[in-house]
Amino acid sequence: MRVLDPSEVDHDVPAAVGACLGDLLEQRLEEAGAADPVFAADLADRVARFALTGGRRLRSVFLWWAMRGCGGGPREAPRALGVAAALELIQTCALIHDDVMDGSAVRRGRPAVHVAVDHQYGTAGRASPCGTFGGAAAVLAGDLALAWADDAFVQAVRGAPQEERAARVWRVMRTEMVAGQYLDLHGQVTRATSAARAERSAVLKTARYTVAHPLALGAVLAGASERTQARLREAGHSAGLAFQLHDDLQGAFGDPAVTGKPVGEDIREGKATYLLAVARELCLREGDRAGLRLLDEVTGAPSTRAADTGHASGAKSAARTAHPASARYARDGADGQDIARVLDLLDRCGARERVSRRVRELCARGIREVRAAGLAPDAADRIGALLHAACTPGAPTGRPVPAAPPAARDTAGPVLIGEAR
């Protein structure tokens, strides 16, 4: 296996992962072209472009710095980059499938895969069990990304001293990711509204998948002790949950120009997010029947009307609200007014502040666990800074976090809604 200089990768982890991913996908695309040129052009090429463009490589960066912090060097670096590439492909699978299940038209500021395929063939109005031809094709595209991810993982760890331990982490991660997404869908259908249920889904599909398992994989590849692995898993659990809860807040109150996704989708679809679950519990505690009725009538309603809900006065109140997201929706017609009224309720009942406070607490706990894991100081600082940026941009964590050197380009950027997935 080719020996790399890890210090060079340290300066720009996402670029190194992207280069590794590019080499891998070049081979996969050749194989796809040999199988069938239409399949290669319509699906394989789209999967490759999706994986190579957009996204922040956050899971890969967590894996890399855990490996470096646990003493990994030139021998471990190629394996770490290979597993990181596999993580990017499993994330590609997750997001392509996610957009089909949610009916999302946009991903990373561009048409979602199923929308692009339907546009190519003019099949947007032709229903199928998967929605449309584009929906069925996107299911296959996600399956292809998952197959490529498993191939990349096996190739990366083959012959490594920690091959079986790494494979166990990989298997658990895949299963928990699917379980969390199923709980998310199940909650929408059954109207499961408890905060505990919403948190369980967030832990499985985001906290462990996005932070805890990548950290554990990096530690395992470096041969870290069980104690260090346990500390990093706990750090990832706390900070990863904070990441998802922050993602929920951004989905409600964020700026689409920054997040890359339309705001209000979770509210319209009735997603059982922790934010909405907390709002419901606070309304129940305070006996706010009007607030409960608003949540019941608006969340999950694709085209609601203020006049039909009996809360016309609430729409006027929302139009006057101070926060920009609510004001923006209040100008967007009846449906926008309904979303604005829900945003106003999330502020007024205290749900937004309660979730924001929990995000800060969880992030601080995660950073403390990282510092207690016995990592090399530079790696611990990098991971701490990444956790802080991903979980609570602009918010205090309770202790100072050293910034990464200017040359390093692995700090998290603006959260893209759904990327916590």
Q: What are 185-231's pLDDT values in tens digits?
A: 888 778 777 899 999 999 998 899 999 999 999 999 999 999 999 99
pLDDT category of residue 389 using cuts at 50, 70 and 90? confident
Question: At CA 44, angle to CA 42 and CA 48, rounded to 5?
Answer: 120
Residue 107, beta-bridge partner list:
110
pLDDT value, residue 262: 65
pLDDT in tens, 66-101: 999 999 999 999 999 999 999 999 999 999 998 888
In 3D, which of 165, 111, 157 has the Cα closest to residue 138?
A: 111
* pLDDT score for 263: 66
| pTM of the predicted structure, to 2 decimals | 0.81
Handedness of CA 49, 55, 60, 65 (dihedral sign): positive
pLDDT over 50 at 413, yes or no: no
Q: Does residue 395 register a pLDDT over 60?
A: no
Opening angle at CA 251, ends 116 and 392, nearest 5: 125
Tell the residue number behind the tokens 């990017």, with chain if given: 88
Instruction: Supply the pLDDT for residue 421.
Output: 56
Q: What is the pLDDT of residues 157-173, one digit of tens each?
A: 999 999 999 999 999 99
Query: 185: exposed, middle or buried (C-beta count within 10 Å: 0-12, 13-18, 19+)?
Result: middle
Rounded CA separation 147/237 (Å): 27
Looking at residue 332, its pLDDT comes to: 47
By mean pLDDT, which of 18-27, 305-314, 326-335 is the weakest?
305-314
pLDDT recorded at residue 102: 78
How far is CA 168 from its chain centroid?
Answer: 22
Cα→Cα distances 155→21, 75, 149, 159, 205, Å: 13, 15, 10, 9, 25
> Does the pLDDT value for residue 43 go beyond 90?
yes
Query: Would you say 17 and 57 are in contact if contact means Cβ atoms under 8 Å apart?
Result: yes
The pair phi, psi for residue 283, each rounded to 5°, is -65, -40
Confidence of residue 110 (pLDDT cuts 50, 70, 90): confident
How many residues are present in the chain? 421
Whether residue 394 has pLDDT greater than 70: no
The closest alpha carbon to 248, from 283, 191, 199, belongs to: 199
What's the confidence (pLDDT) of residue 261? 62
Give the residue, 306 or 223, on which the prediction is more confident: 223
The per-residue DSSP string of 368-419 comes to HHHHTTT--HHHHHHHHHHHHHHH-TTS--SS--PPPPTT---S--SPPTTT
Cα–Cα separations (whole angstroms), residue 130 to 138, 147, 359:
9, 20, 36
Q: Tens digits of per-residue pLDDT, 116-171?
A: 888 887 877 766 666 788 988 999 999 999 999 999 999 999 999 999 999 999 99
Q: Tokens 């991810």, residue? A: 149
pLDDT at 103: 79
pLDDT digits (tens, 9 = 90+) for 256-272: 777 666 667 778 777 78
pLDDT surpasses 80 at 300: no
pLDDT, residue 404, reads: 37
| Measured distance CA(3)–CA(98) in Å, rounded | 37
Average pLDDT in the chain: 83
